[in-house]
A = this chain, B = another copy of it.
Amino acid sequence: MEIKVVRRIMEANEQHAEVVRRRLREAGVIALNLISAPGSGKTSLIECAIRELKGKVNIGVIEGDPDTTRDAERIARLDVPVVQINTEGGCHLEATMVLRALDEIDLNALQLLFIENVGNLVCPVVFDLGESHRVAVVSAAEGHDKPAKYPALFRTAQVTVLNKVDLIPYLDFDESQFTADVRRLNPDMPILRVSCRTGEGMAEWVRWLEGLLNKEAVMQ
**Contacts from A to B (Cβ < 8 Å):** 1-2, 5, 9, 37-40, 65-68, 70, 89-91, 118-123, 139, 141-143, 145-146, 148-152, 164, 166-167, 170-172, 197
Contacts and interface: CB of A to CB of B under 8 A. Distances in A.
Q: Is the interface of A mostly helix, strand, loop or mixed?
A: loop
Contacts of A39: 37, 139, 141-143, 145-146
Contacts of A91: 91, 120, 122-123
Contact of A70 (B66, B123, B148, B152): B148
Contact of A67 (B118, B120, B149, B167): B149
B150 A67 contact: yes
Contacts of A164: 141
B118 A66 contact: no
Contacts of A70: 145, 148-149
Contact of A172 (B143, B145, B148, B197): B197
A163 B196 CA distance: 22
Contacts of A37: 37-39, 119, 142
B150 A167 contact: no
Given A39-B142, A167-B167, 16 more contacts: A2-B9, A38-B146, A39-B145, A39-B146, A40-B142, A67-B148, A67-B149, A67-B151, A70-B148, A89-B122, A122-B123, A123-B123, A141-B164, A141-B167, A166-B170, A167-B170
27 contacts: A1-B5, A2-B9, A37-B38, A37-B119, A38-B121, A38-B149, A39-B139, A39-B142, A66-B122, A66-B149, A66-B152, A67-B151, A68-B145, A68-B148, A70-B145, A70-B148, A89-B152, A90-B122, A91-B120, A119-B150, A120-B121, A122-B123, A141-B142, A141-B164, A167-B167, A171-B197, A172-B197
Contact of A139 (B89, B141, B145): B141
Contacts of A172: 197
